[in-house]
Amino acid sequence: MLNRILSHDHPRSRVLAFMLIVLLIALAGAPFIFPGVKALNVAAKVLVFIVLVASFDLLLGYTGIVSFAHTMFFGIGAYGIAVAMTRLGPTWEALGLGLLASLGLSFVLALLVGLFSLRVRAIFFAMITLAVASAFLTLASQLSDITGGEDGLTFKVPELLSPSLEFADQPFLGVTLDGRLLCYYLLFVTALLLLLALLRIVNSPFGRVLQAIRENEFRAEAIGYRVVVYRTTSSILSALFACLAGTMLAIWLRYSGPDTSLSFEVMMDVLLIVVIGGMGTIYGSAIGAALFLVAQSYLQDLLRLGSEAAAGWPWLSALLSPDRWLLWLGVLFVLSVYYFPTGVVGRLRANAAGGRL
């Protein structure tokens, strides 16, 4: 049964399996294990980025396509929900319509970009996708009547997912049972199902062809596979999953704006997480997203504690200043790339194959 759920793609490392189980338990019990608004927001963001990064890994790690337009589809998902909720009201019908509209637009744009761009060389395709993403970001910022411009759109969600709705008078294990909690578990179940769906895709015959194209597209073409068709299909699937990740983010934040879903910083975060977790390993998206976002969210707090503890050594206290958290995050990234050149998952699997783990 577990083989079928994981599409016969086992972690192949006891340490990796342990990490995945711990992560699953931590995310499943986050509202109860890690009390507080910040911790719950971090856990929700991890769920969103697991789907977003895994969808990008389908494109980069399994097909070998470098695209900078991935956050465009992420933003389309977020804005689709925001515009529908703003115009039609906080109803399930509006939620469904926004979801369908954003998926439809993502499908069309991914198809167009694929058909017009995937025949060119990798570097030119990357530049084309960067130009398209930049144009879409500018468009979203300028169409203030529809998208809210630079301020974005704040909206209400259906009452069942609203924090104002409480299901019990008394907290359970110290946690208020309200719509916010239900919304979090909706994200958790959605992220888990989408991740399993991506595992199924990459371990199917279609996924094997994508990997063959990544390794040598000329050989794949020579043995009869239409490379353009497979790469275009991969781009469309990746865009649709990214769009779904965007809808998850919008529903959780009840807001959509250029900075949260369309900015180049989001694209950079996705690239960093893919490298940290390991390209061509869907599991890497989960491990990488958790490590990166937890470090990004709590590194300042840790540095503040370290700076206070080192108050007797002014130079050390200044070095550990919370204002330098980006410096230390960069140092951690460099160290992770140096010690895990194939990503955390790739290194653990290589060690397990060599009998070290």
CATH value at residue 246: 1.10.3470
Say how many Å lie between the first and final Cα of the chain, rounded.
Answer: 25
Take residue 29 and report the two structure tokens written for it: 């019990």
Take residue 292 and report the two structure tokens written for it: 């990166």
pLDDT at 351: 82
The torsion angle over the Cα atoms of residues 251, 257, 260 and 264, rounded to 10 degrees, is: 140
- Tens digits of residue pLDDT in 188-199: 999 999 999 999
- Tens digits of residue pLDDT in 262-316: 888 888 899 999 989 988 888 999 999 999 999 888 888 888 888 778 777 777 7
Overall pTM surpassing 0.75 (yes/no): yes
Supply angle C-alpha 185, 187, 192, rounded to 5. Answer: 95
Query: Which tops the pLDDT comparison, 119 or 4?
Result: 4
Give dist(CA 281, CA 56) in Å, integer.
11
Give dist(CA 176, CA 169) in Å, integer.
8
Q: Average of pLDDT values for 196-216? A: 89
Q: Are 135 and 161 in contact (CB under 8 A)?
A: no
Query: Which tops the pLDDT comparison, 335 or 172?
Result: 335
Distances from the Cα of 108 to the Cα of 236, 239, 246, 328, angstroms: 8, 10, 17, 41
Query: How many residues belong to the chain?
Result: 357
Q: Report the mean per-residue pLDDT for the chain.
A: 86
- Among the residues of the chain, which ranges form H helices? 2-5, 14-28, 30-33, 37-60, 70-88, 92-117, 122-142, 144-147, 179-202, 205-215, 217-222, 227-253, 258-261, 264-277, 282-309, 314-319, 325-339, 343-353
Domain that holds residue 289: 2-353
- Tens digits of residue pLDDT in 220-258: 888 888 888 888 899 999 999 999 999 999 999 999 988
Query: Long-range contact list for 40-43, CB < 8 A, 24+ apart?
Result: 40/180, 40/184, 42/293, 42/294, 42/297, 42/298, 43/184
- Tens digits of residue pLDDT in 126-175: 788 888 888 888 888 888 888 888 888 899 998 888 887 777 777 777 77
Distances from the Cα of 258 to the Cα of 41, 134, 153, 268, angstroms: 19, 11, 10, 15
The number of folded domains in the chain is: 1
Residue 300's CB: how many other CB atoms inside 10 A?
17
Which of 44, 14, 7, 10 has the alpha carbon at shortest distance from 28?
44
pLDDT at 219: 86
pLDDT for residue 120 is more than 70:
no
> What are residue 112's phi and psi, to 5 degrees?
-65, -45
pLDDT for residue 357 is more than 60:
no
